[in-house]
Structure 1
Amino acid sequence: MDLYTQIQIFVWAVDSGNFSAAARDHDLAPSTVSKAIAHLEKRLNVRLFYRGPHAHTLTEEGRSYEHTARDVIRAMAAAETVGESLPQQVAGVLRVHTMATFAKHQILHRLPAFLDQYPELSVEIQVGAQYVDLLEKGVDIAIHSGVLPDSSHVAYRLGEAEWIVCASPRYLEIHGTPREPSDLLKHRCFNFAFASPWNSWSFRHNDEIVAVPVKCRASFTQGDLLRDIALADEGIVRLANFHIGNDIADGSLVPLLTEFQLPLREPVFLIHADRKHTSPRIKAFLDFFREKLSGAVW
C-alpha cells in the first residue's frame, strides 16, 4: 500500500471517528484500515490514535499530522486536475457524492454516454444515504434530496421526489390491501435504519395530517435493500419515485393509500462549490445531467 493511500485512509478514519466506520463508509475491510494506520504510525514512529472500544481519538501528534495530511490530499487533488489548465479542456478526475439509489437508478445507465463524450475525463462516484458537506475535501459535486444546511455552495434543483408507500401485488394478495393509514399498523413494514424524515409516514386523513407509527420488523441503511425486500413480497416500504418509478410503471410495486397522499415533494439538488470558478469538468457534468434528467417524470 502506497503512502498516499495510507494518508487518505488516515483522513477517512479521522472524519469517521473510528476504523470500523471508515472501512464501512469507503467499502474497505476493517483490517485494511487498521493496517494502513499501523504502517503510517511505524513510518512516522509516533502513535496517531488512542484506540477506544467505541471511538478512536487523535493523539497530540495525530492532531498535528492531520493538518499536513489534509494538505497532501488537497495537493494531490490539484495535481490530478492539472489537465484542466486549458480553459476548454475537460480532463482529470471528477468526484461525485450522492445517494446509492440515485447513483444506481438515475446516473449509472447515463454515465457511459457522458464518458464517451469526454474521453479525457474519469469519474469517481461516492455514495452515502445522507448529505455530508464534502466539497472542501476533494468532492466536486453532490446530489442529494431534502432540506440543505445553509452554506456558500451553489445548489441547482434537479427535480422533486415524491415518496410513495408501496408493496408488491403478491404481498397484497396474501395479506390484503390497507384501505386507510391506520391499517398499516397491521402490516409488516420496513424502514431506514438511521434517523431520517424519510422514516415518517405521514398522510392527510379527515383534513388532518396524521403520522402513522408503523412497526418496522427490520430496517436497512440502503434504500435498495428496502426495494429488494418489497419486490420479494415480504412487506410494505416507503421510497422515492426516482428510485422505484420503473417498478411502479411495470406493476412490480403498487402504490398504496394514494388518496391520503400529502401534496409534498422533496427537492433533489445538485450542489457544487463555486459559481464563479466552475472548472470545465464540473460544468460538463452539470450541463449533461441537467439535460438528461430534465425529462424524468420525477
Structure 2
Amino acid sequence: MKAFVRVVDLGSFARAAEDLRVTPSALSKLVSRLEDRLGVRLLTRTTRRLALTSEGSLFLERAREVLELIDLAEADVSSSRAKPKGFLRVNSSTGFARQTLLHAVPEFLRRYPEVSVDLTLTDRLIDPVAEQVDVVIRGSPTSGSDMVVRQLAEGRRLICAAPSYLARAGTPRSAAELSDHNCIPLSGQSAPTTWPLASEDGVVRFLPSGNFSCDNVGMLFDLAVEGHGIVRLADFVVVQAVREGRLIEILADINRSDSISLWALMPKGRFRSPRVQAFLDFMEGWLGANRE
C-alpha cells in the first residue's frame, strides 16, 4: 500500500524506488501483487507516464487514510522524542511560498533529512481533508470543526517599492503625494482594498490606483521588484526582499497597518504526527528569527 501511494505521489517507479530504497523491479512487483490481490488494475502504465484508473483513485484515497492511521498509532505510542520522518504535504499561497518557504523549507529538510516535503501552491482556500494535505498555511484562521488551527507568527503590512521606481518617480512622503504615484492594488477582493494612512485629519483610507492591478500576491511582489509601482504587502512576503535591498519600505511613519497573523490549518487526525509538529515548530522559530 505504501509502495503504491509513493509511486502515485512521485509519478514514477524509479523515483519512488529510490525514495523507498528498493529496486524499481521490486517496487513494480509489489504494486502488481497488490493489483492481483484486489483483482483490478490500479495504474495504467505507459513509457511516458502513469495514470490512475478509477479503481486506483478510490484505492489511493483509502490507502492514504490507512497509512495516516498507522502513522498516528505509532506517534501515540512513541516517545515525544520520536524522530520526524516520512512524507509531508504542505499547501501555501503563492506569494508566501515564493518569498518565504523558498528559503525556509530547504533549511527544514537539512535539519530533518528523513522528511520529504510536497509543496502545493494555491491562492484559493482548499479542503485539506479532501486534498490530502497535512498543513495549510494562510493569513486567515478560518476552519471547520474538523480542523486544528495554530498561529505561526504575527506581522504587519509594509508599503514598498523598488529602488529603481523610487529613483525614477521619487519617494512619496504623505498620502497626498502617494496619489501621484503608480500604486498596484490587490484586486479580486469582496471590497476595494484601501491603505490606512495617518494624516493631519486622522487616519485616512487611501484607495490605491494605477495602470495595473492583480489578484495574486506573488505577481504583485514581482511587479514591485521589477520597478513598476508601489505595493502594500504582508511582511511575511516582502521582508527578505527588503533585507536584500530589492524593495525599500516607504511611508513607515504614517502606515497604520493592523496586526496580521499567519496560521497553520491541519486536519485533526494529523497534527499529532511528529513530522507535522516538527514543521510547525520549525516554521514558528524560523519566522521569528528571520523577520527581526
TM bracket, shorter-chain basis:
0.5 to 0.7
Q: d(CA) in 2 for partners of 1:127 and 1:218?
A: 23
Q: How do 1:190-229 and structure 2 match up within 5 A?
A: 190-195=184-189, 199-206=193-200, 208-229=202-223
Q: How do 1:16-165 and structure 2 match up within 5 A?
A: 72-78=59-65, 81=68, 84=71, 86-87=74-75, 88=82, 90-146=84-140, 148-149=142-143, 151-165=145-159
Q: d(CA) in 1 for partners of 2:187 and 2:282?
A: 33
Instruction: Give the number of the structure with larger relative contact order, counting CA–CA contacts within 8 Å between residues 6 or more apart.
Output: 2
Could you tell me whether the CA contact under 8 Å between 1:130 and 1:144 is conserved in 2? no
The verdict on how the C-alpha distance between 1:213 and 1:287 changes in structure 2, with shifts beyond 3 A counting, is closer
The corresponding residue for 1:168 is: 162
Could you tell me whether the CA contact under 8 Å between 1:96 and 1:123 is conserved in 2? yes
State the Cα distance separating 1:96 from its structure 2 match.
0.8
> What is the DSSP-based 3-state SS (H/G/I as helix, E as strand, rest coil) of the residue aligned with 1:155?
strand
Could you tell me whether the CA contact under 8 Å between 2:134 and 2:270 is conserved in 1? no
> What is the DSSP-based 3-state SS (H/G/I as helix, E as strand, rest coil) of the residue aligned with 1:217?
coil
The corresponding residue for 2:29 is: none
The corresponding residue for 2:22 is: none
> What is the DSSP-based 3-state SS (H/G/I as helix, E as strand, rest coil) of the residue aligned with 1:189?
coil
Q: d(CA) in 2 for partners of 1:277 and 1:96?
A: 12
The verdict on how the C-alpha distance between 1:129 and 1:205 changes in structure 2, with shifts beyond 3 A counting, is farther
Indicate the structure (1 or 2) with the bigger Cα radius of gyration: 2
> Pick from 229, 247, 255: which aligns with 2:249?
255
State the Cα distance separating 1:269 from its structure 2 match.
0.9
State the Cα distance separating 1:296 from its structure 2 match.
3.0
Q: d(CA) in 1 for partners of 2:192 and 2:289?
A: 25
The corresponding residue for 1:245 is: 239
Q: TM-score, normalised by structure 1?
A: 0.66
Deviations 1:72-96 (CA, angstroms, capped at 9, x unpaired):
4531323554773533464432111
What letter matches 2:74 in structure 1? L
The corresponding residue for 2:20 is: none
The verdict on how the C-alpha distance between 1:198 and 1:169 changes in structure 2, with shifts beyond 3 A counting, is farther
State the Cα distance separating 1:216 from its structure 2 match.
3.3
Deviations 1:127-177 (CA, angstroms, capped at 9, x unpaired):
122443424431111111145356442222111221111212332232222
Could you tell me whether the CA contact under 8 Å between 1:180 and 1:257 is conserved in 2? yes
The corresponding residue for 1:179 is: 173
Could you tell me whether the CA contact under 8 Å between 2:185 and 2:209 is conserved in 1? no
Q: Unaligned regions of 5+ residues in structure 1, if any?
A: 6-38, 45-67
- Structure 1 stretch 92-101 or stretch 143-152: which is displaced more? 143-152
State the Cα distance separating 1:195 from its structure 2 match.
1.2
Q: d(CA) in 1 for partners of 2:65 and 2:219?
A: 37
Identity among equivalent pairs (%): 27
Q: d(CA) in 2 for partners of 1:115 and 1:83?
A: 23
- Structure 1 stretch 256-265 or stretch 78-87: which is displaced more? 78-87
Q: TM-score, normalised by structure 2?
A: 0.68
Q: d(CA) in 1 for partners of 2:247 and 2:289?
A: 22
- Give me the CA root mean square deviation: 3.3
Q: d(CA) in 2 for partners of 1:82 and 1:149?
A: 22
The corresponding residue for 2:30 is: none
Could you tell me whether the CA contact under 8 Å between 1:74 and 1:137 is conserved in 2? no
> What is the DSSP-based 3-state SS (H/G/I as helix, E as strand, rest coil) of the residue aligned with 1:78?
helix
The verdict on how the C-alpha distance between 1:154 and 1:252 changes in structure 2, with shifts beyond 3 A counting, is same
State the Cα distance separating 1:125 from its structure 2 match.
0.7
State the Cα distance separating 1:231 from its structure 2 match.
2.2
Deviations 1:257-280 (CA, angstroms, capped at 9, x unpaired):
222211512111122222896122
Matched, 1:231 2:225: yes
The corresponding residue for 1:288 is: 282
> What is the DSSP-based 3-state SS (H/G/I as helix, E as strand, rest coil) of the residue aligned with 1:215?
coil
Q: d(CA) in 2 for partners of 1:226 and 1:214?
A: 13
Deviations 1:12-42 (CA, angstroms, capped at 9, x unpaired):
xxxxxxxxxxxxxxxxxxxxxxxxxxx99xx
